[in-house]
């Protein structure tokens, strides 16, 4: 998922690349930004398989990346510029 690349680019100050990666990620999963912007970290799912582009896929990614986005100064605010769905 391109959100890992977006996180890396944001961390390194490359906002153009980070924006490009978020937009690419949203094309494959429209739920990803909304899941990362939840007030509480999503709970791990018991599902063994998730469909590409599903909310379950976005939740699975968010379980791993939620704290990382919050650890970067300004990342949550920057991410909020993108549509949640």
The verdict on residue 31 lying in a domain is yes
pLDDT computed for residue 48 by the predictor: 76
Q: What pLDDT shows up at residue 47? A: 72
Domain annotation covers residue 85: no
Instruction: Let me know if residue 84 belongs to a domain.
Output: no
**Which ranges of the chain have pLDDT less than 70?**
1
55: Cβ–Cβ under 8 A, 6 or more apart, which residues? 31, 35
What domain range is 16 assigned to? 2-79
Q: Residue 43 has which token pair?
A: 């709970």
- How confident is the model at residue 83, as a pLDDT? 94
Q: How deeply is 78 buried, as exposed, middle or buried, from its count of CB atoms within 10 A (0-12, 13-18, 19+)?
A: middle
User: Tens of pLDDT along 54-78?
Assistant: 988 999 899 999 999 999 999 999 9
Total number of domains constituting the chain: 1
pLDDT, position 39: 86
- Evaluate whether residue 18 is within a structural domain: yes
In a domain, 36, yes or no: yes
Q: Quick check: is 15 in a domain?
A: yes
pTM of the shown model? 0.87
């Amino acid at each position: 998922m391109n959100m890992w690349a977006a996180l890396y680019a944001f961390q390194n100050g490359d906002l153009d690349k980070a924006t490009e990666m978020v937009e690419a990620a949203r094309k494959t999963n429209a739920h990803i930004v909304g899941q990362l912007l939840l007030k509480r970290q999503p709970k791990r799912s018991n599902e063994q398989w998730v469909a590409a582009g599903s909310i379950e896929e976005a939740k699975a990614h968010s379980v791993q990346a939620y704290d990382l986005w919050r650890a970067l100064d300004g990342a949550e605010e920057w991410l909020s510029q993108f549509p949640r769905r």
